[in-house]
Structures are given as structure tokens and as C-alpha cells.
Amino acid sequence: MLSTRRKAYAKRSRTGCRTCRARHVKCDESPGACQNCISTGRTCGGYEVHRLPRGRASKKIPIEYSILPRIAHGLCWVVTSDESRCLSFFQHRSIPGLVGFYDSPLWQHLVLQMSYSEPAVYHAVVALGAINHAQEKTGIPRPGQPRQNIWYQFALEQSARSITLLNKRRMSQDPKLQEVILVCCLLYITCELLRGHYDNACAHIFGGLQILKELNIRRRISGVCVSPVEQCVVETFLHLQMQSAFFGTGAPLTVDRDLVYEQSYEEYLLIFRSLENSRLASNPLLHTAFPFVSYCMRRSDADIMAEYGTLQQTQLQLLSYLTRFLRLLKLLSDESYRSLNDKEQLEVDMTNLLCVTAVHALKTCLCSKSSPLPQDLVLGSRTLLSLAEAATSKFQARPTIMLDSTIVPALFFAAFRCPDYGVRWRAIDLLRSWEHSEGFLNAAVVADVLEQNLRIELNHLRETKVSTCRLLPPRLSFVTKRHGQSFARMSYMVGETEITRWLNLGTTSFLYASLGTVQSS
């Protein structure tokens, strides 16, 4: 009777060079480069410092975007199992989140295509997939909150590989190199935002904007950018420039500002004849309005008064254009909104919300910073809050991060310095439940900022009440508990339900610890 011989079990090695691991052969792990590769004429891929933990069996991930046919034929370079895991996660989980509120040719097509033809883009994509995978379990860190687990270390190593590959090509005359650099830059920016490293993200944004500036980008009246790189890349950088203006990067790329201030924006609005291109029509105006708001918010009351004539003229011009755009948007919505599918309706709703946010921000940016907003602007705060609440109710699955920024800025400007404390608490509560990050705006950090701003105002109000016997606003009272701790008790109505909130009026250190790590904050 024949005996059955079994191969002796040997624990599979998780070390070895990248090339041997991809070939599934035993690596001799010689320093520098393995002899297996050298003796067979292959290029040794080097050794990875960090390996990811083995994955556990899990439910299949639903695929929302079809994988490119090219994937079936493999890549033209060595791919390790760890990289393959992160690439798969990026395709199936990261992309749906990064697409955000609008269809995105950048994430749905360009980045995915380039990751299979450009090694530098590939490694940057793997790094982003690793970080995003880690944060599905742990959440997005606050600025300055250290996250040094193996997934972050692996992502850092992949980013370094990407940068090394770009540096090797810096003298190349390849006409597509600039686009490769810019796409890698966008991936680095997203990685830094996910890690809460806003200063690093700003540095990458500024570098990318400088490249685009040197390319002499211009926007035609048709809305199309005259550029040697894909328009989706330019639009994403312009949107990030709009966000990062609040963190001190400025606006070196003046494509949209030139269109609004120096060219005829009225002619540009002529392209706006269908809801499908509403975002394209609003982009130049939004990319101009929010940096202006940022400029005003950074100025003291004395500075505002010194420039008031010029600032008010700009404010009124931007408000006029936005009002005109919103009027056209409403007319088109009345005609064809119901014929749109759910995704298209959401895009229109988000465009409308961001424009209403810009209007409210413009109306408030020249108001005195030493007092709450005037009562005639409270209605705008309430309207903006209601629109944001309606928008969030349409989301069933909320992604970890997206680069589009709409819900969080709407809630921030609805609450900021509003004299109606109910509006402020509703916005803070909604931000706490939103639990994700939109570009630079982490919902939890923005909620902390609004809460601290409210704490400062209430402490001042409490001191004023003691010295002047001033009456308090409705639904607000102050309570001193044991050990001398002071609290504010506030309530607001949601339908027929009364929601009560207590706010400790003492100093909190975690917000300052978070923002203290952001030099531009």
C-alpha cells in the first residue's frame, strides 16, 4: 500500500525583498540586494521596513465602482500582498468617500487610471488606502493627535517611495510629468488631511498651486480651463485653495478671481442653462467669495474700518453675483429638479447650500467682532441651519473623509456668533453627529471651536449679569455646582421636543492642544 507523503510544514516567511515575495520564492535576504535577484538578472526591489498584520476573513466589500479591465492584466512592476490589499481598499472604499457630494472624474477615472501606469501615483494611492483603512476603525485624529500604528508607518514608507520615484524623473522632458506630480500632490494632501497634519497639507497645496501658476492656467467664458493638465485636477486645487485660505496659504492662483473681478462674470453665467452644470457655474464665484471672507475674518475691527469702503464694494459685488446665481438656480430647479435622479438632486442641493453659506458669510464678515451678530442676520442663520439639517438627512452612509466641503462650513457659519443660542447648540449637536472630515474641516474640531466661542461669550454674559442685573435670554440660566464649577443650562426646540444642554464654563485644554499644532490656526 502506497504511503501518502506530505510536505513538511514550514512557517511562511514574511520578510524578504519585494521581488522575491512577489515571485513567491525564498529570499536569501542579503544586505543591500538579495543574491537570488542578482544571480537571475533581476532588479532587487529592496526590503520593506514595515509589514501589515494579516487580514482576517470578513464580509465581501460591495463594489460601487467597476474596476478597470487593465487590472486583470497586472501591473508592470513588483506588487506585494500588502500593497495589493491597500490598493483594493482604495478602489472599493476610499474612492466612494472621496467622490463626496459630486461625481468626480479625478477619483473615479484619472487617479485610478494613473495608478496603473505611473509607479509614483501607485505608491501614493497605496499610502492613502493604508491610512484610510486604519481610520475606518480608529476614526480621524485631531490635529496633533499622534497615530503611529503599523498602518501609518507603512503609509509613510509608501509615500517615501512615491517621492523617490518623482525625484528620479525631475529632469525628464516627459510632457505628462507635471500632471503626474500634481496628482501625486493631491494624494499627499489627502494623506496629510487624514492624519490631521494641516500645515503639511497647506505646504503641498501651495506647491501644487505654484506649478499651476507657472503653467499660466486661464478659464474661458465657457467655463473650461485652458491648461495642459486635466480640468478636474485644476478644479480640485482651486477648491483646496479656497479651503486653505482660512489656514493662511493665500490665493496664488488667481484664475477665478480674475474672472469675477476683471472679466465679465455676467457672460460666464450665460453657460448656466441646466442644473447639470450648476456647480461649474458657481465655482469661480465660490472660489473668490470664501477667500475674501477669510481675509475679513483675520482683520481686526480697526483694520476693517480703515478699509471699509473698498471691502464693502467687493462685498456688495460678490453678493450681487451670488444672488443672481441663486435666482437662476431656483428657476431651473422649479422646471426640472423632479426629473433628476437622487444623485443629481443631491448635487444641486449641495451647490445651493454652499452658495447660501457664502451669502451668509459675506453678510456677516464685515460685522464687528466685539459683539454678536445683528438681529436682522439671525434669520439667515436659521435658514442656513435648516438647509444643512435637510441635507444631512439625505445621507445614509457617511464617508470618513471627502475633499468637498459643504455641510461643515454651512453649520459653522450658521452658528458663528449667532445671538440665538438654540441655533448654535443645534449646529454643534449636528456637527458632533456628522462625525467626518470635509477637506480641512474636521466636524469634531469645528464643533469644539464653536463650543469654546460660546463658552467665552457666556462667561462674559454671566459677569455682565452680576454687575448690571441684566436679564438673560430665554431658555438660558447659569448654575454653580459643588466645588465652585459653573455651568450654563440651555435648551432648544426640535419640533415639539425640548432638548437641554449643559456647558461647563471652565477652561478646556484639548482644543488648544489640537489647534496649537497648526501654525496657521
> Do 395 and 438 touch, CB atoms closer than 8 A?
no
Give the number of other CB atoms < 10 A from CB of residue 36: 20
Residues 6+ apart with CB under 8 A from 350: 101, 102, 391, 404, 406
42 confidence band (pLDDT: 50, 70, 90): confident
Q: Could you tell me the end-to-end alpha-carbon distance of the chain, in angstroms, rounded to an integer?
A: 80
Query: What span, in angstroms and rounded, lies between the C-alpha atoms of 275 and 333?
Result: 7
The domain spans of the chain are 18-49, 83-252, 260-371, 393-520
| Percentage of residues of the chain with pLDDT beyond 90 | 48
Please give the model's pTM, rounded to 2 decimal places: 0.85
Question: Phi, psi (5° rounding) for residue 210?
Answer: -65, -40
pLDDT digits (tens, 9 = 90+) for 287-310: 999 999 999 999 999 999 999 999
Counting Cα atoms < 13 Å in the Cβ hemisphere of 63 gives: 7
When pLDDT is averaged across residues 492-505 and rounded to a whole number, the result is: 88
520 confidence band (pLDDT: 50, 70, 90): low
68 confidence band (pLDDT: 50, 70, 90): very low
C-alpha cell at 199: 500645515
Query: What span, in angstroms and rounded, lies between the C-alpha atoms of 304 and 366?
Result: 7
pLDDT for position 145: 72
How far apart, in Å, are the Cα atoms of 72 and each of 62, 84, 109, 186?
19, 13, 17, 26
pLDDT for position 70: 47
64 confidence band (pLDDT: 50, 70, 90): very low
pLDDT digits (tens, 9 = 90+) for 381-434: 999 999 999 998 887 777 777 888 999 999 999 999 999 999 999 999 999 998
49 confidence band (pLDDT: 50, 70, 90): low
What CATH number has the domain spanning 18-49? 4.10.240
Amino acid at site 449: V
| Percentage of residues of the chain with pLDDT beyond 70 | 86
Query: What span, in angstroms and rounded, lies between the C-alpha atoms of 415 and 420?
Result: 8
pLDDT digits (tens, 9 = 90+) for 311-347: 999 999 999 999 999 999 999 999 999 999 888 898 9
